[in-house]
Amino acid sequence: MTGERPVRLLCFPHAGAGGAAFARWQSVFGDHPQVVPLPLPGRDTRAGEPRLTDPTALMDDLLCRAGPLTDAPYALYGHSLGALVAHHFAHEAATAGYRPPVSVVLGAVQPPHLPSPLLRHELPADDKAVLRRLVSWGLLPERAALEGEDTAGLWRRRVLPVLRDDLLLAHALRAGAAGPLDMPVLAVAGRADTLAPPGLVAQWRQYAPAGFALRTVPGGHFFVRERRLPELLARALDAAAADGCDGRPVIPQSTIAPSRPTAGGRTRKGGRRAGSAVHSDQYLHPQEPGGRRDF
């Protein structure tokens, strides 16, 4: 089988972010694949549009906008909230009749069946309390919660409303999670990420019967900002294509855990369902304690 290298890498940013999170990636990849950030409605270049917190409406919007980009082989990358969006998008694209991605890369998020520390408790109604909580989680800089600071007022007026809606969207995506994917999945975790530690990110293997790999990188939750991540992805996609596995980061089916979550989405019209180098590459090996093995 001839390896299929993706022509495009469609990227979904983390909560509160836009396409700038991937601004430097093209220089790492070179000419191929083309890096295509996909900001969500109401964010970034789409700031004038209503923000969507319903997964069904969001998928309809994204498929309408990104559907034409699936005319050639492509891969997906999503970071944190964006990874949940990528999981849904991959499922919806396939069931809606679009070309499915050759691979899905999920960064800095644990799978939907595991409770996220960000969503265990409702956010306080008081904006200042929310900012303090987000700062304590390491999601915002300390200046965002400073009393009496003009910059803190800007965080409350401009950033916090988006983050509130992004967390609502994350909760809805988890509650109506899509099922296992028909294409291989590569999960990436920051070794110092306390919100999505590698041991929990590894459980995406249950959603990847077609093949799964876990890789870790230095850093915490926002390793998307580091050059190491696109370097890792470039190597992974090149190696997979050279190995003749359709551009997909894959390990043999025999090493994949047999258990799978059931799809939680409802049936929709048309049959669709809602829903610096890297120091170690760690692959899932369910027969070993902890399901990890270093190569």
Choice among 12-21, 141-150, 202-211 with the minimum mean pLDDT: 141-150
- Residue pair 99/128 in contact (Cβ under 8 Å)? The answer is no
182 versus 274: which is more confidently predicted?
182
pTM for the whole structure: 0.80
pLDDT tens per residue across span 53-90: 999 999 999 999 999 999 999 999 999 999 999 999 99
Supply the pLDDT for residue 248.
Answer: 41
Supply the pLDDT for residue 293.
Answer: 28
Q: Which of 24-28, 40-44, 129-133, 269-273 has the highest average model confidence (pLDDT)?
A: 24-28
Six-digit token pair at 184?
């291989």
- Residue pair 226/219 in contact (Cβ under 8 Å)? The answer is yes
Residues near 121 by beta carbon (within 8 Å), at least 6 away in sequence: none
Supply the pLDDT for residue 254.
Answer: 29
pLDDT tens per residue across span 93-102: 989 999 999 9
pLDDT tens per residue across span 6-60: 999 999 999 988 899 999 999 999 998 999 999 999 988 898 999 999 999 999 9
CATH number of 8-119+159-244: 3.40.50.1820
Rounded CA separation 121/41 (Å): 25
Instruction: Provide the pLDDT confidence category of residue 215 given band limits of 50, 70 and 90.
Output: very high
Closest CA to 10 of 53, 55, 63: 63
Instruction: Provide the pLDDT confidence category of residue 231 given band limits of 50, 70 and 90.
Output: very high
Instruction: Provide the pLDDT confidence category of residue 152 given band limits of 50, 70 and 90.
Output: low
SS (H, E, C) the chain: CCCCCCCEEEEECCCCCCHHHHCCHHHHHCCCCEEEECCCCCCHHHCCCCCCCCHHHHHHHHHHHHHHHHHCCEEEEEECHHHHHHHHHHHHHHHCCCCCCCEEEEECCCCCCCCCCCCCCCCCCCHHHHHHHHHHCCCCCHHHHCCCCHHHHHHHHHHHHHHHHHHHHHHHHHHCCCCCCCCCEEEEEECCCCCCCHHHHHHHHHHCCCCEEEEEECCCCCHHHCCHHHHHHHHHHHHHHHCCCCCCCCCCHHHCCCCCCCCCCCECHHHCECCCCCCCCEEECCCCHHHEEEC
Range 162-176 average pLDDT: 91
Give the rounded distance of the alpha carbon of 3 from its chain centre. 24
